[in-house]
Every structure is written in C-alpha cells, then in structure tokens.
Chains A and B, each alone.
Chain A
Amino acid sequence: MTEHVQTLLDAVALGSIYGLMAIGIGLVFGVLRLVNFAYGQLVMAGAYALALTQDVSVVLSIALCFAVVLALSLAMELAAFRPLRNASPTTMLVATFAISYLLQSIALVRFGAIGKILVVIPQLTKPLTIGSLHVRWITIVTILVAAGVFAALTLFLTRTSIGLQMRAASIDSETARLLGVRANAVITVAVLISGAIAALVAVILPMAVPERILVTPDYALRETIIVLVGVVVGGIDRLLTATLGGFTMGFLVGALSGFLPSSGSWPFTSSVYLDSAVFMLVIVVLLLRPEGLFTRSRRSVVDRV
C-alpha cells in the first residue's frame, strides 16, 4: 500500500513536470499558433548551464540557467519566429525541427555525446519519512512549484493588462491588433514566460527523474515528444486543457513505470514497452475523443494540429 502511494506521488510529480512543459508549449502556441518542437532544447541548454556551473554556488548556477534559457528563447523569437510570423503553421513547425536539431548538434560538438552528471540541490533528493512512507523532497517541491506556477500564470492572465491582451491575441490576434494590442510585445512576453518555465524544468528534471541526471545533447527530447502528444490529446487550443493533457501523460508514464513489473515478456515489461503502452492509450483516446480529452469543442485533432 505504502509503495503504491509513493508510486502515485512520483507519478503526480512527473505529471507536474510534464504539465509545466505543456504550459510552456501551450503559451507560445496560444499567441503564435506555433508548436515549438525545440522546447526540449531550451531545457537542454538550461541543464548544460547548470551542469557546467554546479561547482559554483547553487543560486548563481540557477540564475545562469535562467539567463541562458531566456536569452536563447529571445534569440529564437527574434531570429526565427518573428521572420516567419506570416508563414504557414507547417513552415513554422519545420523551422522548430531545424532549431531543435541545430541546438542538439551544437551541444554535441561543444560538449560531446558522453554527457555530464547534474545534481542541482542534493538535499532535495533525500527522502522525507512519514511513518513507513518515504517521499523524496523533490517530489513535494515539484508538485508545489507546478501548482504555484499554474496559479501565478492564471492570475497573470486574468488580472493584468498584458495577460488579458495575451488571451485576446490567442483567441483572435487580428482583432486584438485592431484594438491596439502590440502583437510583438505580447508574443515576446509569452516566449519569455515559456522560456522561464523551461529553465525551471531544467532545474527540477535532473533531481526528480533519476535517469535524467545525465545531461546529453538529446536531453528532454523524449519528454518534449510525450508532452506534445499530451497537449494535442488534452486540447492544445486552451492552456488549461493543454496543461491537463501534459500532466496526464506524465502521470501515465510515472504510474505505468511504477506499477508494471520491471521484468518479464511483452506486454508486461515496463522498461522496454512503457512508451508502447502509453502511445497505445493515446491512440485509443484519439479514436474515442478526437476533439481532445478535456476540450468541449468538436474540432478534429487534424485541425488542431
């Protein structure tokens, strides 16, 4: 029983990380109609910044991680997204593929394929013991941080002028511009918030997911693909449904890897067939609810993608 509770908490934490990434991807999609495939490489860049400076103070290292990811986000917006503002969604998607592979290649050339061990705050990986329950601090911190970010973002989007303008631009950017909303400013703010969330994920991910302790050029790529699937399954049109989609995928991955046996033959080998099991569920969901798991609209998944 205790083991199940621990597995469920870990799954919620993983869902929270994926939910955070879904917020980052969903925010930019909202204002740009752009699916940023290169989002994982922002996390990768932040993780490298942390790994290369972890011998310095933790605060400085984390500050540098945020600075690097924010600068890279801004560079992406200015050098790629802005010149392609009026391009088709397909062109923009392909451009983000190119950025993703470019950044991976740069990391490969600069830092090699072997990878670097990253432990940001070792104290957070220690367990908190409540009776027979052992929960790592990072699990609790991850859940709280994700909830805090979602709450803060909700307040930002509903209570501030720029947040309101962001919502309007994501509904109908042309009308928003006709009211005087500065599209470029709103998009830049969305890209920067999305980048800040990627930096946050870079800090949390290596502590929360044991196999992500090693930073490699393809760091967070698998997470990005699963989150992208999650936001489409949840409903990419709205931030809440996209976030729920990302959370659900993370929760599923965490729960399945915890509850499925770690050895045996197909279909009971979680370590080998986990992704197959998850994507099989995705296909079932898309067949049953093509409009999205959490959305109320009836638009097909093809339209939304």
Chain B
Amino acid sequence: MPTADAAPILQVRGLEVRYGSVPALRDVDLEVQRGEIVGLIGPNGAGKSTTLQAIVGTVRASAGEILLGGVSIRGQAPERIVRSGVGLVPEGRRIFAALTVEENLRLGLAGRRSKNGAHEALEMVNELFPVLRESRRRHAGLLSGGQQQQLAIGRALVAEPDVLLLDEPSLGLAPTIVDAVFEKLGAIRDRGVTILLVEQRAQRTVAFADRTYVLANGELRMTLGPGEAGDTDRMVAAYFGS
C-alpha cells in the first residue's frame, strides 16, 4: 500500500545505455512509489530488459542516475544492489536446476539485509506458494515451468526487497499458468511489496498495474493507467512510433 512517504522507492533519471556504439536506452525517466505496481511494456528490443539490467548493475549505464530510496546505486556491483533492497526475478527464471527447491529458496536469503527474520520470510513464501513447500526436497529442474516461475519469485521474495523487479514472468507459460502467475503477483501486491513488472503482454499489464510505462526503441513513449488498457490505438501508436 502507498504510504505517506512521498519519495519514490526507485527512481531512474536520464538513463542511457549503449551496446558499443549502438544506443539501447535514451534518456529514460521512470519512478516507482512504495507499494505500487508499475508496468513496463514495449515491443521486442525496446530496451525493457536492459532497463532492469541497468538497475541491478549487470549492464553499465553510460549516463543518468538510478536512485533507491533516494540513494544512488548506479555503478555498484549487482550483489551490493540486491543487498540494498532490489530483488530480481530474471528472464527465463534462471533457477538452479541441480539444487533442491529448498536450497534455491535458501540462496535467496543471501540478499537479505538482516539475518533476523529469515525463517519467517521462508514461511511467508511457503504460504504464498504452497507447491514450493510440498516439493522442497525435489530438484528444481524437475518442477514445471509455472512452478519454476513461482520458485524464482519466491527466491527473490525471501530477501524481503524494497522493490521487486520481474522480467517477463509469463514468458513461455501456458495461458492458464499465466493467469495463476498474475494472481500470485496480486497476492504479493496485497502484502505491500513494490513491483516493477516488465511484460510482453501489454493489455494485461496495463490493466493490472497502477501505472504502465511504454518503451519503444530505447525511449519512453507514454504512461498508461489501468483504465486505458482497452485503448489499443494509443498503444499501437506508441509501439510503432506513429
């Protein structure tokens, strides 16, 4: 839930990223208030994943500023950024298939800022995703795609991040499983977790998020509210730059 604290928990100002001489992001500004779900949509190659990678420090920003709770995190090592309160559910889930479900979740504890409360955090995730508790001794590689996505989300949540970044959590999942994933994201929102959601499913994301940024060709084109999910003309115009 949004609090009285007006300062955004995550703020990106004038972000630029280049791959060699090719600009991937140009002058991107976005902000996420505490308790919000903010969407980030756009066509393939728009720079959505690059934005998340720049925030977590796996891609170097050539210009601009990234602030977490008002403090700059630009240029820091990824593990330090994660330990500062940024959780990431990476594209493709990237779970450790050879480790058990429980070991994957325990790994997520590495991102915690305090050693206290780790047990409670694991319990919270097991309550949110009962399938993880049921299959805690199984190798994570044996889980279905949807279960692996729940594990990837749970693994990031046990660190109790200030803001959770999700990179295309519905990618490669069957429609019914996508429904379940969005339902879980709603439950996570209800627990007061701040979310920045990168998605290909544009309309669904716009309807789901409090605000959604549309990114195309490395630039922010517009911001949409949940009521504008049906405004396909505007979205198409943003996507194709007309």
Chain A residues engaging chain B, CB cutoff 8 angstroms: 161, 164-165, 167-168, 171-172, 174-183
Separation in Å of the A237 CB from the closest CB of chain B? Answer: 11
- Cα separation A177 to B110 with both chains bound (whole Å): 9
B67-80 contact mask (Cβ, 8 Å, vs A): 1 or 0: 00000000001110
Say which residue of B90, B98, B159 sits within 8 Å of A175 (CB atoms).
B90
- Cα separation A176 to B98 with both chains bound (whole Å): 14
B82 contacts A179, C-beta separation under 8 Å: yes
> Given A161-B106, A175-B90, are A180 and B99 neighbors across the interface (CB < 8 Å)?
no
> Given A161-B110, A181-B79, are A175 and B58 neighbors across the interface (CB < 8 Å)?
no
Residue tally, chain B, CB below 8 Å to A: 24
- Cα separation A181 to B56 with both chains bound (whole Å): 13
B48 at the interface (CB under 8 A from A): no
B88 at the interface (CB under 8 A from A): yes
Say which residue of A164, A179, A183 sits within 8 Å of B155 (CB atoms).
A179
Q: Would you list 6 pairs from A and B whose C-beta atoms are within 8 A, ordered by A residue?
A: A164-B99, A168-B99, A171-B98, A175-B94, A176-B107, A178-B79
B182 at the interface (CB under 8 A from A): no
Chain B: CB-nearest residue to A238: B98
Pair count A-B, CB < 8 A: 60
Name the prevailing secondary structure of the B interface residues.
Answer: helix
B228 at the interface (CB under 8 A from A): no
> Given A164-B106, A172-B94, are A179 and B111 neighbors across the interface (CB < 8 Å)?
yes
A180 contacts B110, C-beta separation under 8 Å: yes
- Cα separation A168 to B83 with both chains bound (whole Å): 17
> Given A164-B107, A165-B110, are A178 and B96 neighbors across the interface (CB < 8 Å)?
no
Separation in Å of the B11 CB from the closest CB of chain A? Answer: 21
Contacts of B110 in A (CB 8 A): 161, 165, 176, 179-182
B94-113 contact mask (Cβ, 8 Å, vs A): 1 or 0: 10101100010011111110
- Cα separation A161 to B110 with both chains bound (whole Å): 8
- Cα separation A172 to B58 with both chains bound (whole Å): 14
- Cα separation A165 to B110 with both chains bound (whole Å): 8
- Cα separation A176 to B83 with both chains bound (whole Å): 12
New contact pairs (18) apart from A168-B96, A168-B107, A178-B88, CB-CB < 8 Å: A161-B110, A164-B103, A164-B106, A165-B110, A167-B99, A168-B99, A171-B99, A172-B94, A174-B78, A175-B90, A178-B58, A178-B90, A178-B94, A179-B111, A180-B108, A181-B110, A182-B79, A183-B79
